[in-house]
Structure 1
Amino acid sequence: MPLNRRTFLRAAAVAGGATAFSGALWQEAFAGPAQPGPGPYGPLLAADANGLRLPEGFTGRVVARSLQRVEGTRHTWHPAPDGGACFADGDGWIYVSNSEVPLVGGASAVRFDAGGRVTSAYRVLSGTTLNCAGGATPWGAWLSCEEHDWGLVYETDPRGVKAARPRPAMGRFKHEAAACDPDRKAVYLTEDQPDGCFYRFTPKTWGDLADGTLDVMVGTGTGPVGWQRVPNPQLWVTPTRAQVSGAMRFDGGEGCYYAGGVCYFTTKGDNRVWAYDAEEGRLDIAYDDDLVTGGEAPLHGVDNLTGAASGDLYVAEDGDDMEINVITPDGVVAPFLQVLGHDESEITGPAFSPDGRRLYFSSQRGESGFVGGTDGFTFEVAGPFRR
């Protein structure tokens, strides 16, 4: 019988053994990618009034609805809420969310006081198109990424004071997400193409993204990888992903998150969570549903992701059964929450408040599933998160 993909990948994972996941979040290394098991928070309970299935001790609420005013403000929340991040703001915080619609996409923000009450909402970026995901910077900016062939990264001010600025030196391509590496003073970028690449932007001056070098990951698969400069990242006839021979291909790059020397990113085409150990220059697989060996794979449609100080990763699903799954540092993957009644939607923008006690995320198309995202929901879940 020919060796199919699932069997081959399982064999490769066993062969890789304990060499995988040498980064800081995976110091408790395990033999192969994450496997199903009991989650750290226990089973999901029955759905609450908002359709959220949560573990014991957690509560949820709706923070905003697309095309409706955010409660207590005069700001109308945007359609198709997508990538998001939280930022400290005095004794409160701000949640920023992209809008994945053409021409008027941009991004908006909600400000919370120390008790979690909404105090204001406002626009931070306008006049851009298909703003999908992005990432937060160490200097407190939100990088909003356009998802089209000539897409740009925009550096925005979560407080809405400074004007947003395009950063063409970071390349023109179908941007998805960004993650900052303050240790190596670089920004990692994913590309949402079936033959997309994984990029690294190194600014000339850390904290100033106006100028720098765009590199693409090169290699032959998991294990040691390298980087090579993209010759023409801004104005091109040949797309950035085709300019470097030997550039690695990733099937639909999605979320991107950096912590402790490791950049984690997802690819939807093969349902993988990757782990790039920047300290070792090594690429491994943190999760792949084809590599699940015991029980049913709980995580499908991998998309946006974020992490907690505990080392847990939280991975949102695009479709499937509308869950956010947690992947623990000891290699267990399990559902953390589920949104019922939003069957034609996707979960986007997971992000923790600065104190780690609240998780924000959206259902991009809501209960109606309308592709224009006019029925989007943005949620908050509070509870005893591991920190």
Structure 2
Amino acid sequence: MSETGSTAGSATDSGSPATRRQVLARSGALGIGIAFTGALSELFAGTAAAQGLGHGGYGPLVPDPDGLLDLPEGFRYRVLSREGDRLRSGEGPVPSNHDGMAAFAGRHGRVHLVRNHENRATGRVPVPAVEGLTYDPAGKGGCTALTLDSRGRVLSERVAVAGTAVNCAGGPTPWGTWLTCEETEDKAGTNGYAKDHGFVFEVDGADPRRTGAVPLTAMGRFQHEAIAVDPKRGVVYETEDAFQRPFGLFYRFLPDKPLGGTGSLRAGGRLQAMRVPGVPDLSSIRETGARFDGVEWVDVPDPQAVHTPIRHQDFGPKGITHAQKLEGCYWGGRSVYFVSSFARSAEGSAGDHYGQIWRYDPDRRRLTLVVVFGPDTDVQLPGESPDNICLAPGGGLMVCEDGGGAQHVYGVTRRGEVYALARNRQNTGTPEDPEWGEFAGVAFSPDGRTMYVNCYDPGTTFAVTGPWRR
């Protein structure tokens, strides 16, 4: 375990090539707050972020002398875990491809982190197979769980579920478990798998054997990305990150036993897909504030996709609504928010954008486009491909960047001001042609004092502390 603190110095990219956003920013193309204050305020309505930061974050990023993570002055990080190190449980090495993650409160001030590993059939460092926690011995993905003491020190690190595939994102439940999502549709016999994949699994970070390795099949078999749970109704919303046309759908799962702890989702339920009347492709909508009432939910004909992937299935003469790169998903206030990371007409979308955030209000059956990212709107908005997102307890939103060039965790205040909170310095390329792994799994400790975030490659889990409420 290592720890370092930021020191005063330059905030330049230390030799990295300038991104399009950096070049345009230097030319003076600013004005985020003016263009997006109204739309961004919706992101934080009715949440703890209502008293958000108002003055552009925490200052410039300071180069890390250890070459791992650049942070603003006054912030510090601790490396909790790195791929290839030994799991403290002795079950094997820490797996690679750190992705979605959540933090849960434990007893005596402890924190339980549950972390995804997006390993495919050829995963570099697979999740070790553990008896009673392994779904398919041929699967290389899964989750690991870390327990931290009240001072943030790692007490344990172990396998939480194994034998799954391409565990990308997921989401927490109101009863304190993690829903990990397989971003694949591979069936038994494909890529050496012994079982069908494309499911959601429930994981208890405090006691993984309580949940085991049981697929929640009623929630559908498709290229899952993320989920969010309506804490009042128990409805689970799900995003699909499909890579080819027709693109993914936005789903809701109506459980037969809406709430009540582990086992409630195993009781089955009904899977439906969202239909926005007159909008077959969300990428065709470009203006923030665009609103659609009367959203419909249509039963999925075959949730198990036995013969046909769900997005290819027949939803009747009115069709269904698709969107490219549906990724992050979270519940805030009385609404669910979900991200489309980008859309490209050259790849079959109805329009082009560099990221959208949508808000669905179930009480009004209303869908609203809250934010559009990218140079066609405002070059300072975070990243070309927003991915994992979470609400920050001190105010605002945290966004993991998954695009080209340097990779950041960005903050967005409720006034629409965007600031860089962290920059990955682990170069996986060469000095002449550098590459940096994306960030993923941003989450905050229950007391709001620590931000946890993963670097995907090389797999690294950081704990970041600092003057969050400044």
Is it true that 1:161 corresponds to 2:197 in the alignment? no
SS at match of 1:134: strand
CA offsets 1:157-195 (integer angstroms, 9 cap, x no match): 112231232100000000011111112321111101141
- Cα gap change, 1:156 to 1:87, in 2 (>3 Å): same
The equivalent residue for 1:178 is 227
CA offsets 1:104-142 (integer angstroms, 9 cap, x no match): 211001100111111011111011111111111111111
- Could you tell me how far apart the structure 2 residues matched to 1:288 and 1:93 are? 34
Greater alpha carbon shift after TM alignment, 293-302 vs 159-168: 293-302
Task: From the two aligned structures, give the one with the greater strand fraction.
Answer: 1
- Could you tell me how far apart the structure 2 residues matched to 1:357 and 1:326 are? 16
Offset at residue 350 of structure 1 (A):
0.9
Residue 147 of structure 2 aligns with an amino acid whose one-letter code is: R
Offset at residue 83 of structure 1 (A):
0.7
SS at match of 1:304: strand
Residue 338 of structure 1 aligns with an amino acid whose one-letter code is: R
- Could you tell me how far apart the structure 1 residues matched to 2:44 and 2:162 are? 36
The equivalent residue for 1:358 is 450
Offset at residue 332 of structure 1 (A):
2.4
Q: How high is the TM-score relative to the length of structure 2?
A: 0.70
Is it true that 1:256 corresponds to 2:256 in the alignment? no
Is it true that 1:214 corresponds to 2:263 in the alignment? no
Give matches, 1:51-200, under 5 Å.
Answer: 51-70=68-87, 74=90, 76-90=93-107, 91-102=109-120, 103-149=139-185, 150-159=197-206, 160-162=208-210, 163-194=212-243, 195-200=247-252
242, 255, 275: which one pairs with 2:312? 242
33, 53, 60: which one pairs with 1:43? 60
SS at match of 1:54: strand
In structure 1, the gaps of 5 or more residues are: 1-13, 29-36, 367-375
- Could you tell me how far apart the structure 1 residues matched to 2:85 and 2:451 are? 22
Offset at residue 289 of structure 1 (A):
2.4
Q: Are the equivalent residues in 1 in contact too, given 2:43–2:414 (CA < 8 A)? A: no
- Could you tell me how far apart the structure 1 residues matched to 2:339 and 2:94 are? 27
The equivalent residue for 1:380 is 463
Residue 60 of structure 2 aligns with an amino acid whose one-letter code is: P
- Could you tell me how far apart the structure 1 residues matched to 2:40 and 2:183 are? 30
- Could you tell me how far apart the structure 2 residues matched to 1:252 and 1:274 are? 13
338, 342, 358: which one pairs with 2:423? 338
Greater alpha carbon shift after TM alignment, 38-47 vs 354-363: 38-47
- Cα gap change, 1:217 to 1:22, in 2 (>3 Å): farther
358, 361, 366: which one pairs with 1:274? 358
Larger Rg: 2
Give matches, 1:305-320, under 5 Å.
Answer: 305-320=389-404
Q: Are the equivalent residues in 2 in contact too, given 1:272–1:287 (CA < 8 A)? A: yes
Q: Are the equivalent residues in 2 in contact too, given 1:39–1:335 (CA < 8 A)? A: no
Residue 250 of structure 2 aligns with an amino acid whose one-letter code is: F
SS at match of 1:161: helix
Is it true that 1:230 corresponds to 2:300 in the alignment? yes
- Cα gap change, 1:292 to 1:330, in 2 (>3 Å): farther
Q: Are the equivalent residues in 1 in contact too, given 2:41–2:414 (CA < 8 A)? A: no
- Could you tell me how far apart the structure 2 residues matched to 1:377 and 1:198 are? 30
Residue 252 of structure 1 aligns with an amino acid whose one-letter code is: K
SS at match of 2:103: strand
- Cα gap change, 1:254 to 1:294, in 2 (>3 Å): closer
Please tell me the root mean square deviation across aligned C-alpha atoms, in Å. Answer: 2.6
CA offsets 1:1-38 (integer angstroms, 9 cap, x no match): xxxxxxxxxxxxx99996x578572479xxxxxxxx95
